[in-house]
Structure 1
Amino acid sequence: MNTLLPTSIVGSLPKPSWLSEPEKLWSPWKLRDDELREGKLDAQTLAAHEQRRAGLDIISDGEQTRQHFVTTFIEHLSGVDFDRRETVRIRDRYDASVPTVVGAVSREKSVFAADATRLRAAADQPIKWALPGPMTMIDTLYDDHYKSREKLAWEFATILNQEAKDLEAAGVDIIQIDEPAFNVFFDELKDWGVAALERATEGLSCETAVHICYGYGIKANTDWKATLGAEWRQYEESFPLLQQSSIDIVSLESHNSRVPVDLIELLRGKKVMLGAIDVASDTIETPEEVAATLRRALPFVDADKLYPSTNCGMAPLGRRVARDKMVALAAGAELLRRELA
């Protein structure tokens, strides 16, 4: 990236109300068949346009072609039965009805390469694509086949690596792996979590990122955050391991969080995608607030390695709110750029 402080969103944007019910996760599609396929791609083009218009430097698909950041990828794999539902505890926080792994998991063909090719053609800027991480994937399923979280995670890591290589071939500049589960399952993180992440990104020459947050602004997550005390130090577990890993960029939640900013020092040498926009509130940040959040990180990350971003995805927000937050992110980064110049 030639731009100082290149801005981007983490991944998702709200979908248009003609595509799915607004401000809701796992919202069902309103269209069917060919209309749905066309509608998803129209929404993706619109999302790219809105990011450009807001002034963002790195463009994502806004996750417009997927119902949910994890399940849509899994839907395209064999070995998972979506009609056989079980209730599981997701990230030790809330219960959800999830599909069941009934056999060996595999990928028949690329899930997102065609969508990424379409985004590449619609954007002159660098593009980023997010995939769910192995640990977060296994946490969103009931496993009746492998009977081992680790074994299933390694299978998913191999599948993700195939997908990532197809996305790179489609022209994606940054492949981001979403691993919110890294803030919860610390024993697995150390035992095999980072190793599985590296397996998922093995052999790529594009940039790689891992996104670890405290979740969307839904009640289950905000309730959990309220129990975490005056300081949120979960990143202390993952950052030293990621600093030693092959991953290029580490994405974290910062604005309106209780994460001590000096934890970023544990990533020294890595690029840091810093969440400077709160996704759990409809309040629009001012450019000055965004700049202040970014400025506070500068003692712990070199300016040329700082990537201003959102804390997490914005799927559950209203479209105008998400648009205004993107504008604020771009304007805040520009304020700090001028200062640094």
Structure 2
Amino acid sequence: MKTLLPTSTAGSLPKPGWLAEPEKLWSAWKMEGEALHKAKQDALCLILHEQQQAGIDIVSDGEQTRQHFVTTFIEHLNGVDFAQRKTVKIRDRYEASVPTVFGAVSRPKSVFVEQARFLRQQTQNPIKWALPGPLTMIDTLYDGYYKSREKLAFEFAEILNQEARELAAAGVDIIQFDEPAFNVFFDEVNDWGIAALEQAMQGLTCETAVHICYGYGIKANTDWKSTLGNEWRQYEAIFPKLQQSSVDLISLECHNSKVPIELIELIRGKKVMVGAIDVANSSIETPEEVAETLRKALKYVDAENLYPCTNCGMAPLSRDIARGKLKALTKGAEIVRNELAR
């Protein structure tokens, strides 16, 4: 029987200190070669255990095998030079040194399929696997070849579709495309960004999700949020067209944000991964706080379509804090489940 209000995480979970420096994005690996390969598998098993101990229903790899949610995928592609770097403005809000596209991009072999197959062997739970979305990929590079954000996005969409089909064949139940750039480049999203996402999802036999949030709890993001005023209405610009798309689940940020909860009405009929855990601070939510966020969301999404989740990834947090937040998420979902049963 299908679980009501199945819980999951939006993406990354903290890495153990023996694998990489904790509480840090882009953290370097502490070993290499075969030792690193085995350490990543150990970390994956550990993070799976922590999710299951917390009662998470839809589990993931917690991005234990990658340094960054976008660039680790790009590293495995032809046509991108990581030695030739340029400084660009990412998400239109902070500057970063990024690799350069110097030729036609292609995927010589699968990137995450072996790791997904390994995770599938470890659990009977439904598995969600995250991939970067096309628009967010092009926003994390300098394009010295195509000279067209749209053309490069569709090239990446085709590559992502190849990877996604193999992930589905390896037993992944939900493939999630991370598109924080959807909250910034509204004209591009509506003109061709959703079409590129559709291309990345084409022909998939598993469920699909798109994750759109306001970013990790890092200073560049929190500084940006402080400029957005009393209401964050970015979703309003993109939800109507997303509601018409073929994506199954839409993952968004709710708890401790200034997103008007009624914007969820714009995607009525879709399954909604409601962010009920704030990843931008170290305060652990109470189960009742989680439950209250879910109750508010239930005014705009049917119970069978509500998936309690985190706002974003939790890689910058400590493992203890992340564990506490995951337990709060599952206990809060349980409170609302019991209320619905009555």
TM (normalized to structure 1)?
0.99
Corresponding position: 1:132 with 2:132: yes
**Map of 1:328 onto structure 2:** 328
Aligned to 1:85: 85
Structure 2 counterpart of 1:225? 225
SS of 1:18's partner is coil
Which amino acid is the alignment partner of residue 233 of structure 2? R
Residue of structure 1 equivalent to 2:173: 173
1:78 Cα shift?
Answer: 0.5
Once the two structures are TM-superposed, the CA of residue 93 in structure 1 deviates from its matched residue by 1.0
Cα distance in 2 between the residues matched to 1:204 and 1:90: 30
Q: Which residue of 1 aligns with 2:264?
A: 264
Show the counterpart of 2:60.
Answer: 60
Q: Which amino acid aligns with 1:173?
A: D
Structure 1 CA distance for aligned equivalents of residues 147 and 39 of structure 2: 38
For residues 245-264 of structure 1, the aligned pairs below 5 Å read 245-264=245-264
Counterpart in the other structure of 1:37: 37
- Per the TM alignment, residue 102 of structure 1 is displaced from its structure 2 partner at its CA by 0.7
- The answer to whether 1:314 aligns with 2:317 is no
Deviation at 1:277, TM superposition (A): 0.1
Name the SS for the 1:308 alignment partner.
Answer: strand
User: How far apart are residue 41 of structure 1 and its match?
Assistant: 1.1
- Indicate the residue corresponding to 2:95 in structure 1: 95
> Deviation of residue 45 (structure 1)?
1.0
What does 1:102-141 align with in structure 2 at a 5 Å threshold?
Answer: 102-141=102-141
Alpha-carbon displacement from aligned partner over 1:73-121 (angstroms, at most 9, x marks no partner): 0000000001111111000111111110010000011100000000001
The equivalent residue for 2:292 is 292
* Residue 3 of structure 1: how far off its partner (Å): 0.1
- Whole-Å separation in 1 of the counterparts to 2:102 and 2:30: 29
Question: What is the rounded CA distance, in whole Å, between the counterparts of 1:207 and 1:237 in structure 2?
Answer: 24
CA drift at 1:11: 1.1
| Distance in 2 between residues matched to 1:195 and 1:149, nearest whole Å | 13
Give unpaired runs (5+ residues) of structure 1: none
- Counterparts of 1:129-208 in structure 2, within 5 Å, are 129-208=129-208
Deviations 1:153-173 (A, max 9, x none): 000000000000000000000
| 1:293-338, Cα deviation, whole Å (9 max, x unpaired) | 0000111000000000000000110110001100000000001000
The TM-score, its normalising length taken from structure 2, stands at 0.99
Q: Write the distance in 1 (CA, Å) between the matches of 2:129 and 2:292.
A: 28
Letter in 2 for 1:186: F
The letter for the 2-side match of 1:156 is: F
Q: Distance in 1 between matches of 2:308 and 2:283?
A: 18
Q: What do residues 168-213 of structure 1 show as CA deviations (whole Å, max 9, x unaligned)?
A: 0000000000000000001101110000001000001110000000
Displacement after TM superposition at 1:123 (Å): 1.0
Mapped to 2, the partners of 1:251 and 1:317 lie a distance apart of 20
Q: What is the CA-CA distance between 1:44 and the residue it aligns to? A: 0.8
Cα distance in structure 1, aligned partners of 2:145 and 2:265: 41
1:302 aligns with: 302
Q: Residue 150 of structure 2 aligns to which amino acid in structure 1?
A: E
Give the fraction of aligned pairs with identical amino acids, expressed as a percent: 73
What is the Cα deviation at residue 142 of structure 1?
0.6
Q: Which residue of 1 aligns with 2:209?
A: 209
RMSD, matched Cα? 0.6
Q: Which residue of 2 aligns with 1:275?
A: 275
